[in-house]
Amino acid sequence: MRALITGGAGCIGSDLAAALLERGDEVAVLDNFSSGRREHIEPLIRQPGFRLIEGDLLDAATVERAVNGAEIVWHLAANPDVKFTPESPTDLDLKQNTLATYNVLEAMRKAGVRRIAFASTSAVYGIQERLPIPEDAPCRPISLYGAAKLAGEALISAFSHLFGIQAWILRFANIVGPKVRKRGRTVIGDFIARLKENPQELLILGDGRQRKSYLTAAECIEAMLFVVDHAREPLNIYNLGGRDAVTVTRIAELVAEAMGLEGVRFRYTGGEGGWPGDVPRFTLDVTRLGRLGWRARLNSEESVREAIRQLLERKP
């Protein structure tokens, strides 16, 4: 199959590109390298069937050229940083997540491409009283990132209904792995960097009791491919994650332990969330994914342990 991956130089996109090439697909990657890294796709560039397109999803002409000839679009490109800071423009997620998604869908409509898999997020749910969160829970995002991703989901739903595009919307838990991006460090990468600077003390955003689901990048790729291969509805929405959650303080303990540090003082900024728009607690209901036939092998703590090990072993 001829596949286009937007954001294919990112941490997940580059792994997806490698997996698709391994199973015999032709893969084109479209990336502007604002957060993705060239080093992520360097091992793929000389492989038969791989093509790199450097460009921005906000340039409609570039998107139309990239989409032409594809049989499926894996739309992963987005602003990767969930955190909003006072100096951030409020339209960043609107442009990079929502308008970019519209450009992809419109290019697909014009080119007659009828399949899209979309990397969405658990942030679309916002704060929920019912845990774990099923796919039919009301979506009330509390971050601009989550709102923009939900708007992208709505556009996909409309294009699916109006123009016969089959779609897979994949709502990710927190995905962790050995690769790092240019912007928006994960909690594990942040803790490792901070403890390398000061092995005696670690600043933790929030109260440390934030409790969330984690999935390794490797298992995320497996789940993505499995859902697209097996879910057959015109519009398919699936939570991708494990069956449990782990606290931020426990992650800090695991990082310190893996780095061989003892007696590290944890200092908290306070508050339920780590930043404005942070959902302090979520666990995804993955019953639908299990019924389809896929289940994560690692729980959240095991996923975090594996990601810590991979990051510490990673060459600078």
The predicted-structure confidence for 240-265, as pLDDT tens digits, reads as follows: 998 899 999 999 999 999 999 999 99
With a cut of 90, say whether residue 44 has pLDDT above it: yes
Task: With CA atoms as reference, report the closest residue to 248 among 273, 218, 229.
Answer: 273
Task: In whole angstroms, give the CA distance from residue 293 to residue 220.
Answer: 14
Confidence band, pLDDT 50/70/90 cuts, at residue 182: low
Distance of CA 12 to the CA centre of its chain: 7
Q: Where are the alpha helices (DSSP H) in 81-126?
A: 92-93, 100-111
Question: So what's the pLDDT on residue 181?
Answer: 76
Mean pLDDT of 147-151: 98
Task: In whole angstroms, give the CA distance from residue 163 to residue 71.
Answer: 15
Task: With CA atoms as reference, report the closest residue to 147 among 169, 124, 171, 118.
Answer: 124
Q: Considering the chain, what percentage of its residues have pLDDT values greater than 90?
A: 92
Question: So what's the pLDDT on residue 316?
Answer: 64
Model confidence over 60-94: pLDDT tens digits?
A: 999 999 999 999 999 999 998 888 888 889 999 99
pTM: 0.96
Q: Can you read off the two tokens belonging to residue 221?
A: 């790729």
Model confidence over 16-38: pLDDT tens digits?
A: 999 999 999 999 999 999 999 99
Question: So what's the pLDDT on residue 261?
Answer: 98
Asked if residue 259 lies in contact with residue 188, where contact means CB atoms within 8 angstroms, the answer is no
Q: Boundaries of CATH 3.90.25.10 in the chain?
A: 177-212+244-282+297-313
Model confidence over 224-238: pLDDT tens digits?
A: 999 999 999 999 999
With a cut of 70, say whether residue 153 has pLDDT above it: yes
Give domain 2-175+214-240's CATH superfamily: NAD(P)-binding Rossmann-like Domain (3.40.50.720)
Question: So what's the pLDDT on residue 77?
Answer: 97
Q: Which residue has the higher pLDDT, 276 or 30?
A: 30
Model confidence over 196-208: pLDDT tens digits?
A: 999 999 999 999 9
With a cut of 90, say whether residue 298 has pLDDT above it: yes
Question: So what's the pLDDT on residue 314?
Answer: 84
Asked if residue 64 lies in contact with residue 104, where contact means CB atoms within 8 angstroms, the answer is no
Tell me the C-alpha to C-alpha distance, in Å, between residue 142 and each of 133, 148, 214, 278. Answer: 16, 11, 20, 8
Question: Out of 3.40.50.620, 3.60.21.10, 3.90.25.10, 3.30.1120.10, which CATH number does the structure's domain 177-212+244-282+297-313 have?
Answer: 3.90.25.10
With a cut of 70, say whether residue 215 has pLDDT above it: yes
Task: In whole angstroms, give the CA distance from residue 11 to residue 41.
Answer: 10
Mean pLDDT of 154-183: 94
